[in-house]
Structure formats: structure tokens, C-alpha cells
A and B are shown apart, each in its own frame.
Chain A
Amino acid sequence: MKNDTLVIGTGAGYAGDRVEPAIELAKHGNLDYIVFECLAERTIALAQLRKLHDPSAGYDSLLAYRLDKILPVCYQNKIRIITNMGAANPLAALEKTREIARRHGLDKMKIAAVVGDDVSGIIGEINPCLVETGQKLNQSLGSFVSANAYLGAESIIPALETGADVVITGRVADPSLFLAPMIYEFGWSLDNWTLLGKGTVIGHLMECAGQVTGGYYAEPGKKDVPGLGRLGFPIACIAGNGDGIITKLPEAGGVVNVSTCKEQLLYEIGDPAAYLTPDVTADFTKVGFKQIGPDKVLVTGGDGRRRPPTLKVSIGYHQGYIGEGEISYAGSGAVERGRLAAQIVKERLEAVGATYREIRYDLIGVDALHGAVADGKASGKPYEVRLRVAAKTDTREEAVLIGNEVETLYTNGPAGGGGARKHVSEIIAIVSAFIPRESIASRVVVKEVKEG
């Protein structure tokens, strides 16, 4: 920590996030830490598949790109990096990071990896009930491709204690990536639930990067966001008592106000009185926001209770394939021709004996987003519609048929069909379960750039 407040920036809020805001923050944010959150529910299962093909793969596919740009400036400005870009292979990510650091001549840098979230080897034996089916794992799924427990801030502390400049994890709860440096720098006790709750509130506000600085927010005329095109990422300035200020660089685009904070506090949560993380049962119901300056919001009142006795595990498995096809119709009668086209595809799929588990027909521009909710709301008919047919199948061959029968509408369907596209994708679905905390022991591996 450079001062008595801890300054943390967010460098990414999802795997594909923009890179420029992180560089801007590292250069001008006077940060102590920068956190890159890059792991959605399914990302780790896909990474696990890559690792099966190649043991040196399985970490975030943008890790090299991001770190190549950010490592030198972070090292120069003494900013420590915490990220879950390790995905399914934090140890391979560590080696890749050393390679990048070496190329930049940063020989003194220390890189740490946190491992232990991968429970694929023990989950079969534990055989927990799945939340989605209420049945035991081995009764619900024949096989699975990945099983990762959500580790907490506790797993990152030992890595920070080694003095590592970069800490790379696999699956860690998103707010925990931010809470860990607070616990470490302020010496908070791991059972001080109020402080952990306050820190989790800050982490939750920060974890989606631009979503608290004006991204996913603008509504022209009602909620205007200046400079959205050069949206900056957030900075949290945290005091030892857990209160914090959310802000951004003055030169960056975006806005931080009480409304952006309210929206983000309630983003992806259930009961606001019991936001469960591996660290704490956080309570958002006494949180207060106060605008204390331009793009500066004071956050107070977070609280918490004892952490849950179990850890959540996400289990990825093959659920078959999705076959899709799309085609567009325009002008007068577009809706009628789109519906006729859908009817034709239905008939032809039946005629060729296509099999699928589930199918849907959408007219994009009419009802694809909200179905019956949109009925009668639009004034007049749309100028164009796009038919989309999507089906879930057991095999790739069956999925291919869906798009084919949409494409053949070019020469075998209603007048003026254009822009047909078809696509097949493999479904890696996720189910979840809870396992006893004691069944997991995380550990830290640290290496200097120059050694071995």
C-alpha cells in the first residue's frame, strides 16, 4: 500500500473485456492492485477441454495479450496483479507469465499460482446432490468435463504473503479477488464478518469493471453517459474500516454516481440480506451510497454474518449440440413470409425425420426477445423480420440438419429470403452442487522469473 487507503482498480470484468482501460488505470490510477476477473460460469469447462488436448493450455486465451501490455507498466508502478485467468490451468498460466516477463526483462518479478479449485478427481467420491436435479451427481450425469469449487479470499492470502507481483488463480469467487488484498493489507481477521461483508460489497461493485462506471447503463435522454465510447474502469479507495469510495480516472469516459452503484449492487444477486460467498454471508440491506464529488461515490454500511459451511462447485458436462439457422425477409408482408418460412421448416424437418430434444422459432424484430410480452406493443408492422430456428440435439449430425433446412429456404421458400446463416455449437452446460469446505486444500506455487 502506497498510502493508508488501499487503491484497487478493475482491469477486466469478463474474459473478452477491453484492454485499454486497464492500461490507462495502471499508468494513471496510482493503484496498489489491479484485478482482472475473466472467468464466467462456463469458461473453465471450455478451458478444461483445451487442456485435455494440450496439457500446456487451458488458461485464459487472452492472458498473453493482456499481460504483454500490462506487466511492464504494473511492475514499474509497483502494482500487484490478481487474476483468475489461470482458468483450468493456473500452473501453465504461471509459466506463460514468466515467459512474458522474461521477454520484457522483468527478471526480478515473482509470479504465484493458486491451485486446488479443480475437484474433478474427488467429486465422484463425494457424490453431492445437484442443485438443478435434486439427485446425486452419479445418478444425474454419466460423465462430466470439469468440476471446480469456488475458492475464497483465504486461498489468495498465502500468495500475497510471498510478495508475488502477479497472483494467478483458477476458480475463485469474483468478489474474493478484491477482498483478498483488503484482508492482507489491513490484517482483517477471517472471522470478522462485518469487515468481510463490507469488503465483499466493494468487491461486488468492482467485479464487472465498466458496469459501475456507466457501462450497461445508458438510456439516452434519461441516463446519459458522457464518453461511453472511451468508458473507463473503476477504482476503489478503501479505508481500514471497510468503507470505500468508487471512482474513475477524470480523463476516462463514463460516470460513477449513486444510480450506477445501485444498479451494480443488485446485479446478479438473489436475497440481498444473504449474498453467499466462500468468505462470508454478506448483507447488502444497510448499504448506503453518497455522492461526495464528481464521479466519486462513498460506500458505507455493508455487513455480514458467518460464512457458509459448504463451497459451491460448478460442474461442466456435454449436453449435446445446438443447430441454428437464420434467414431474413423485408418489406410489406415480411412477417407473413417469415411465419410461412417457419411453417415450411417445421414440415421439412418432420419429412426428413430430424430428431431434436427442443426447438424454437423466433421472428427477430418481432418476438425473439420477449415473446408474448411484446404482443400488441409495437406500433405498425416491422419493415423486416429474421426467422431464427434453434434446436437442441444429441448429435452433431442432427444439429446440422436444422441450419440446412433454413438455408434451403433460399430456393425452396417464400419470396425474397436473404442473408441465410447456419451454425452448429456444442453445449457445455453447467450444474452446481455444494461440498464440505474441508474436502479442499488449496495451495500456492511461487516462482521467480529468472529461476530454472
Chain B
Amino acid sequence: MSRIKLWEIAHARAGDKGNAANISLIPYDEADYDLLAKTVTPDVVKEHFGPLVKGRITRYDLPNICAFNFVLEDSLAGGVTSSLALDTHGKSLSSALLEIEIDCPDRPCTV
């Protein structure tokens, strides 16, 4: 077992709708989909973002493309049209998500 950042095995993209942000989480290797499904729960994400996300977090699973969509309600200080934040859209939130650390089973040598 080793401790890794999501950044090492997955990529993400953030978007906004009103005061909610959504962030996709996509493993580079589709074989890691189950690992992410097990470890990156809405509770884990909620704890990671702390006071930044005031509302509920919902995870939608898309096994068809081996990806997840997290919707973070009340997370954009009012939304792009009225937020005082520097990044009013929350576009950089994808990078924050990828900082989450998870336990990763040691991989068999594939050489």
C-alpha cells in the first residue's frame, strides 16, 4: 500500500453553474476506475475542501466512460457574476481536487 495524490493517476476539469461548481475526475488508466470509486467518496471530497464548499456534494458515476462528476453546491461565493473571489468561476478547483491523497495498492510490475 502506498499513499498517492489523485494527480498522479487521474485528471480533472472544473466548470460552474450559478453558485455550484462541478469537477470531473477521470483516471488515466481505466483500470483505476474501481479504486477511485472506492476511495474518492463525497465525504472525502467534502472534508478536503472544508469551508470552501458550504453545500452538499454529489458524485455521479459514469462507468460508460470510466469517469466521475462531482457537483459541489454553494461553493463559488455567489457565483461568477457576483463573487469576490479571484477565481470567480472556480476553474482552478480541479487542481485542488487532484491534491486529495488516497491509499493505493502496490501495483504488480508490468515490465
Report A's interface with B, CB cutoff 8 A: 41-42, 131-132, 216-217, 219, 222-223, 258-259, 262-273, 284-289, 301, 319, 322, 358-360, 362, 364, 368-373, 377, 388, 390-392, 427-430, 432
Known: A269-B69, A372-B52, A429-B81. A222 touches B24 (CB 8 A): no
User: Could you tell me the distance between the alpha carbons of A370 and B91 in the complex, rounded to whole angstroms?
Assistant: 11
Known: A289-B65, A319-B82, A368-B86. A223 touches B11 (CB 8 A): yes
- Pick out which of these stretches binds chain A: B14-22, B36-44, B102-110: B14-22
User: Could you tell me the distance between the alpha carbons of A322 and B84 in the complex, rounded to whole angstroms?
Assistant: 8
Q: Chain A residues with Cβ under 8 A from B86's Cβ?
A: 362, 364, 368-369, 388
Partner of A285, one of B16, B50, B64: B64
Chain A, Cβ-Cβ closest to B100: A373
User: Could you tell me the distance between the alpha carbons of A116 and B79 in the complex, rounded to whole angstroms?
Assistant: 27
Asked whether, in the complex, the Cβ of B62 is within 8 Å of the Cβ of A42, the reply is no
Partner of A266, one of B17, B20, B22, B51: B22
**Closest chain B CB from A220 CB (angstroms):** 13
**Closest chain A CB from B57 CB (angstroms):** 12
Chain B, Cβ-Cβ closest to A40: B80
Asked whether, in the complex, the Cβ of A285 is within 8 Å of the Cβ of B22, the reply is no
Asked whether, in the complex, the Cβ of A269 is within 8 Å of the Cβ of B22, the reply is yes
Report the 7 A-B pairs with minimum CB-CB distance, sorted nearest first: A268-B15, A266-B24, A263-B13, A429-B82, A390-B84, A267-B15, A429-B81
Asked whether, in the complex, the Cβ of B50 is within 8 Å of the Cβ of A430, the reply is no
Partner of B11, one of A259, A264, A362, A430: A259
- Contacts A42-B81, A263-B13, A358-B84 known; list 14 others, CB within 8 Å: A263-B11, A263-B12, A266-B62, A267-B13, A269-B15, A287-B64, A369-B86, A370-B92, A370-B93, A372-B50, A372-B52, A390-B84, A391-B84, A429-B79
Q: Chain B residues with Cβ under 8 A from A369's Cβ?
A: 86-87, 92, 96
**23 pairs of residues in contact across A and B, judged by CB atoms under 8 Å:** A222-B11, A222-B28, A258-B65, A262-B24, A262-B26, A262-B65, A263-B11, A265-B67, A266-B22, A266-B62, A266-B69, A269-B15, A270-B20, A271-B60, A273-B60, A319-B82, A358-B84, A368-B85, A369-B96, A372-B51, A390-B84, A392-B82, A429-B78
Asked whether, in the complex, the Cβ of B65 is within 8 Å of the Cβ of A265, the reply is yes
Contact-size category for B: 35 or more
**Closest chain A CB from B28 CB (angstroms):** 7
Q: Chain A residues with Cβ under 8 A from B64's Cβ?
A: 285-288, 301
Residue of B22, B49, B65, B80 most packed against chain A (CB within 10 A): B65
User: Could you tell me the distance between the alpha carbons of A356 and B44 in the complex, rounded to whole angstroms?
Assistant: 35
Q: Chain A residues with Cβ under 8 A from B28's Cβ?
A: 222, 259
User: Could you tell me the distance between the alpha carbons of A359 and B92 in the complex, rounded to whole angstroms?
Assistant: 21
Asked whether, in the complex, the Cβ of B81 is within 8 Å of the Cβ of A428, the reply is yes
Partner of A272, one of B18, B62, B91, B96: B62
Chain A, Cβ-Cβ closest to B8: A222
Q: Chain A residues with Cβ under 8 A from B32's Cβ?
A: none
Asked whether, in the complex, the Cβ of A427 is within 8 Å of the Cβ of B81, the reply is yes
**Closest chain A CB from B70 CB (angstroms):** 9
Chain B, Cβ-Cβ closest to A359: B84
Partner of B96, one of A286, A319, A373: A373
Please report whether the interface of chain A is mostly helix, strand, loop or mixed according to DSSP: mixed
Q: Chain B residues with Cβ under 8 A from A391's Cβ?
A: 84
Report B's interface with A, CB cutoff 8 A: 11-13, 15-20, 22, 24, 26, 28, 48-52, 60, 62, 64-65, 67, 69, 71, 78-82, 84-87, 91-93, 96, 99
Asked whether, in the complex, the Cβ of B13 is within 8 Å of the Cβ of A373, the reply is no
Q: Chain B residues with Cβ under 8 A from A285's Cβ?
A: 62, 64
Q: Chain A residues with Cβ under 8 A from B49's Cβ?
A: 373
Asked whether, in the complex, the Cβ of A42 is within 8 Å of the Cβ of B80, the reply is yes
**Closest chain A CB from B53 CB (angstroms):** 10
Partner of A371, one of B17, B19, B52: B52
Asked whether, in the complex, the Cβ of B82 is within 8 Å of the Cβ of A263, the reply is no
User: Could you tell me the distance between the alpha carbons of A392 and B18 in the complex, rounded to whole angstroms?
Assistant: 18
**Closest chain B CB from A384 CB (angstroms):** 16
Partner of A373, one of B19, B50, B85: B50
Partner of B48, one of A360, A373, A427: A373
Q: Chain B residues with Cβ under 8 A from A373's Cβ?
A: 48-50, 52, 96, 99
User: Could you tell me the distance between the alpha carbons of A427 and B49 in the complex, rounded to whole angstroms?
Assistant: 27
User: Could you tell me the distance between the alpha carbons of A372 and B51 in the complex, rounded to whole angstroms?
Assistant: 8
Residue of B24, B26, B80, B84 most packed against chain A (CB within 10 A): B84
**Closest chain B CB from A41 CB (angstroms):** 6
Q: Chain A residues with Cβ under 8 A from B18's Cβ?
A: 131-132, 430, 432
Asked whether, in the complex, the Cβ of A259 is within 8 Å of the Cβ of B22, the reply is no
Residue of A262, A373, A432 most packed against chain B (CB within 10 A): A373
Q: Chain A residues with Cβ under 8 A from B19's Cβ?
A: 132
**Closest chain B CB from A105 CB (angstroms):** 42
Q: Chain B residues with Cβ under 8 A from A432's Cβ?
A: 18
Asked whether, in the complex, the Cβ of B92 is within 8 Å of the Cβ of A272, the reply is no
Q: Chain B residues with Cβ under 8 A from A364's Cβ?
A: 86
